[in-house]
Amino acid sequence: MLSQPDLLLCAQLCDDVADALVNQGYFCQDHALPQTLTAALLNNLQQLEEEEALQPAGIGRQQQHQLNRRIRRDKIHWLSTDDPVQATYLAWMQALQQGLNQRLFMGLFDYESHFAHYPPGAFYARHLDAFQGRSNRVLTSVYYLNQDWQEADGGELLLYTEEQSTALAEIRPEAGRLLIFLSDRFPHEVRPTQRDRYSIAGWFRINNSLNGQIDPPS
Ligand code: OGA
Ligand code: MN
């Protein structure tokens, strides 16, 4: 549960995200969540790293490790409400989910997210998070945790429209920056990073089992 002041901040955030999604299909804003939460999330992620609780990220459900390495080199850990800091982030995203459902009738049903650590040299090649009509991931979120990110640090997220080869937006992974976009509309990539790069990637999903299919967990 969010505090009363946080609920007010969240209502404003929901308005802004809803407007941006309607107008341009994506949203990007700095200082999106309280700074204390951002710092606690970074701490939490670095702690998991020390405990060697991160795993190499996969693509799709089962892919060979070699193929993966050519496409993405980040390490991840799925967020859970068992951890109080992760639970607070998930509470924000749940409030955002409700707010967007109220404003845009999106029918968002749940949210899954993972921490990601890109060590120096890591990247994620251009990809789409969802293919039209073939995925229950409808909205992607990325929240960044890195203080004082410099241009020379690389690791930008490049956002494209389907047709374009030049990027529509180039986003530095600066702490407090929240990016939200329609998952099947924007191919994107993470340029090779020169510095340890920390983020939380997540997906708001619709429930495909409403169409008469059993919806397996991804
Ligand atoms: C992803 C992704 C972008 C980022 O995990 O699918 O595109 O900036 N992440 O971490
Ligand atoms: Mn992605």
pLDDT of residue 41: 98
In this prediction the pTM is 0.92
Whether 142 is in the pocket of ligand 1, judged by its Cβ within 6 Å, is: yes
142 Cα: distance to centroid of ligand 1 (angstroms): 7
Helix (H) or strand (E) holding 118: strand 110-118
Rounded to 10 degrees, the C-alpha dihedral 173/174/178/181 comes to -30
Q: Which domains does the chain have, with CATH numbers?
A: 4-61+68-214 (2.60.120.620)
157 lines ligand 1 (CB under 6 A): yes
Mutate to test the pocket of ligand 1, among 76, 140, 196 (most ligand atoms within 8 A of CB): 140
Closest CA to 207 of 197, 215, 218, 199: 215
| C-beta neighbour count of 160 within 10 angstroms | 18
Structure confidence at residue 216 (pLDDT):
55
Q: Is the CB of 122 under 6 A from ligand 1?
A: no
Cα–Cα distances in angstroms (integers) from residue 1 to residues 6, 98, 103, 201, 208, in the given order:
10, 13, 20, 21, 27
| Ligand 1 center–CA 24 separation, angstroms | 19
For residue 193, what are the CA distances in angstroms to 27, 85, 153, 190, 201?
Answer: 23, 26, 6, 8, 16
Alpha helices in the chain (DSSP H): 4-24, 35-50, 65-71, 84-104
User: Which of 35, 14, 70 has its CA nearest to residue 144?
Assistant: 35
According to the model, what pLDDT value does residue 163 have?
80
What is the whole-number distance in angstroms between the Cα of residue 88 and the centre of ligand 1?
A: 21
CA 15 from centre of chain: 19
Ligand 1 proximity of 130 Cβ (cutoff 6 Å): no
Mean pLDDT of successive 10-residue stretches along the chain, which has 218 residues: 92 98 97 98 97 84 67 93 98 97 96 97 94 84 98 98 88 98 96 98 86 52
Count each helix (H run) and each strand (E run) in the chain, helices first.
4, 11
- Residues paired with residue 192 on neighbouring β-strands, in sequence order: none
Q: Which ligand is the nearest neighbour of the Cα of 128?
A: 2
